[in-house]
Structure 1
């Protein structure tokens, strides 16, 4: 074997992939300037992680600061399981009595008329039979069949000195079916994405854990909602990016671009929501939260929702831009930084356009029921758009989109700066990240 063939065989990736490299005679040792950049980036990331961890620790809520509120959806009743054994359609005028239009047996699953209610007999796990009813509105949107498993709410009431339990429909038990869908999703992601898909799922799990153990409890405990959201968002980005994409200068460029987007969104959201004099209360859920946690700043909560809602698409933009720069550098190592930046920005502009559509329609979809309801009432368009309920969604979309757009050139510039220049001849290309680009 010749010296050149031996050198190329030594460059084979341990995973079995083979990168095309220049002959050994064309290679050059890592430049001191790139070594210095490597050390600087490691230090910055270390300080960033340490600072985020310290801020998270400072804002971490004490369990005693969170006041548990009763579940208003059950009205103070107890949720119990039951199995449906008989369904009847009765007149809403006299529920529970026989009527000419009553239907029983196998025909009980027929679609009820608008003036027809549903009376259901069910059996509790202990074998005790119970009865509950569905009014005409609920009956038109809820199909109850014999053999169905249902969850009921049991209320105890006092009637003439005697305690009687009445039952009402709550929902269907969906835990097993939701778990099945989740398992199918995991299998699809791992089958297609393989180890990167598995790491992405782990990152999602870690992000949800941080959201439920830190961000939500901290806001409920009265901590500054905007500061909590920023700390949590940066923590989520660090976990997701490095876990899914590895420790490299490319990932670091995406991380710095994402942090810029987070900070811009937080600052712009804080300023704009106060400039527009939003109260932060645009729905019944907002009002309920303020009642449950009187000290919370609803404007900060509004801005926090803007920060958290844009994390997924922000991650998409920054990672794509960093990867585009690295691929361009790998395909033609002798391109100037300016040429790579201009080319990557062309890719980014196309990506930005589709990402804005994604963001706008995601918000529109989440508000679709509200928009349909508001559309049924004749109202001046300007008055409708400037109302707080719709205005909040518009600001969420505009501020989130602005953060995405501005993070794209920032990430591209950082990626061009961090990508290693090489003296490899133009006919030789390396498509794999070299060890010199690793942060670990």
Structure 2
């Protein structure tokens, strides 16, 4: 009578007997060697730490050597072409906007002709007979600060200018003085900065110290990207090699900074590394088999024109690897933590049992992550897909075009790597945590907990 079963709450909180105690039905406390709180992971033995270090230290050393050998001296200089992003820009302000007759500012002085039922004819008719806007813009930066120029905004133009609006202007010094400046975009620094601030605040409020460390790791990732990966590629280094070294550095810094220097994090690093290797191999093969050049739009065409030595297909593969890294980190850390918690909850469970339990958790993760990745790529390519829909192109025709084929290869290769990371990381975590050699104190505590459980079972039978 009164001999209740041992509960999870009793095991975790000791029922008033102090942390780590397990009580039997009589309220007697017995030591418990495992903490089931959501704090730091249970420390592993010295032997296991040596095994993990023997794998990761050479890898880390190789990454450091790669950074030193491939480190660029900055982006190589080149003469600006004035095309696209490769042009000088200055900040400016729209000081005045007035309505004018489009006919009065028509440079040719002739009324355009054509079928107004077509998009071109309708646009020409609006330009000839509609009301345009004449904007006066003041340059706010650069050597011509304070200089003003005018720009005519057509009625069907997508971006209309408004008085007081901050804009970005392109500057072409070789053009006639009246045509040296032109509005190319809107200045979005304030809303973008505000959004970034809201994001950082949300991360810190919810994540607290972990959130702060995540933001620091994010900043380091951008530094590696801007000061190593991009300049190294521009200087002619192999894009794949640069991406592997750079993404490995980002992975090591981000994971250890966010999750601490522990065996659990090290297993996540190993799982991420194996998955990245698989993504690299698959991506290389299928980019080659599908004859993807990586030169499919104005931006990549401009890069190839400015730096012909850059391997554009290698750059495509580098993008696949770097793009998959962030989601891989999430999957591998989650799976490793799940296996560790399962082991802490039941230290007697072998690696096979841990793997089976962990993979069940991972299957739910796979379904959500793969769907997220596919939808993310589809959302980014939505305007392109809309164009194909307007053209009433078949699915096979759309998929065969290089623009879409690139996204398909990028999505599927990344998804295969994500799917593979679940069993790989789960297996590594199960093998590592089950192969741990606990010290004498941990063995005594575990034996005491097991004995307490057996005594409780015998009392329940009575």
- TM (norm. structure 1) is 0.80
1:364: which partner in 2?
Answer: 378
C-alpha distance 171-285 of structure 1, shift in aligned 2 (>3 A): closer
Alpha-carbon RMSD = 3.0
1:59: which partner in 2?
Answer: 70
- Secondary structure of the residue aligned to 1:333 is coil
Q: Is the 8 A contact 1:333 1:426 kept in 2?
A: no
2:168: which partner in 1?
Answer: 151
- Secondary structure of the residue aligned to 1:145 is coil
Offset at residue 396 of structure 1 (A): 0.5
- Secondary structure of the residue aligned to 1:151 is strand
1:220: which partner in 2?
Answer: 234
- Secondary structure of the residue aligned to 1:73 is coil
Q: 1:318 aligns with which of 332, 351, 366?
A: 332
C-alpha distance 373-243 of structure 1, shift in aligned 2 (>3 A): same
Q: Work out whether 1:118 is the aligned partner of 2:133.
A: yes
Give the alignment of 1:36-435 within 5 angstroms: 36-63=47-74, 65=76, 67=78, 69-73=80-84, 79-88=90-99, 90-91=101-102, 94-95=105-106, 115=127, 116=130, 117-124=132-139, 129-138=148-157, 141-154=158-171, 163-165=177-179, 167-419=181-433, 420=436, 423=443, 424=446, 425=449
Larger CA Rg, structure 1 vs 2:
2
C-alpha distance 383-52 of structure 1, shift in aligned 2 (>3 A): same
Q: Is the 8 A contact 1:90 1:119 kept in 2?
A: no
CA deviations 1:182-206 (Å, max 9, x no partner) are: 1221111111100000000100100
Offset at residue 273 of structure 1 (A): 1.1
C-alpha distance 61-166 of structure 1, shift in aligned 2 (>3 A): closer
C-alpha distance 134-26 of structure 1, shift in aligned 2 (>3 A): closer
Offset at residue 19 of structure 1 (A): 5.2
Offset at residue 283 of structure 1 (A): 2.3
Q: Is the 8 A contact 2:153 2:160 kept in 1?
A: no
- Secondary structure of the residue aligned to 2:151 is strand
Q: Is the 8 A contact 1:118 1:135 kept in 2?
A: yes
C-alpha distance 344-255 of structure 1, shift in aligned 2 (>3 A): same
Name the count of aligned residue pairs: 390
Higher mean displacement: 43-52 or 207-216 = 43-52
Offset at residue 360 of structure 1 (A): 0.4
User: Within 2, Cα distance between the matches of 1:149 and 1:427?
Assistant: 74
After the TM superposition, list the runs of 4 or more consecutive aligned residues in structure 1 that deviate by more than 6 angstroms. Answer: 156-159
- TM (norm. structure 2) is 0.76
Structure 1 regions of 5+ residues with no counterpart?
1-10, 13-17, 97-112, 430-440
Offset at residue 129 of structure 1 (A): 4.9
Offset at residue 262 of structure 1 (A): 0.9
User: Within 2, Cα distance between the matches of 1:24 and 1:401?
Assistant: 47
Structure 2 regions of 5+ residues with no counterpart?
1-11, 23-28, 35-43, 108-124, 454-462
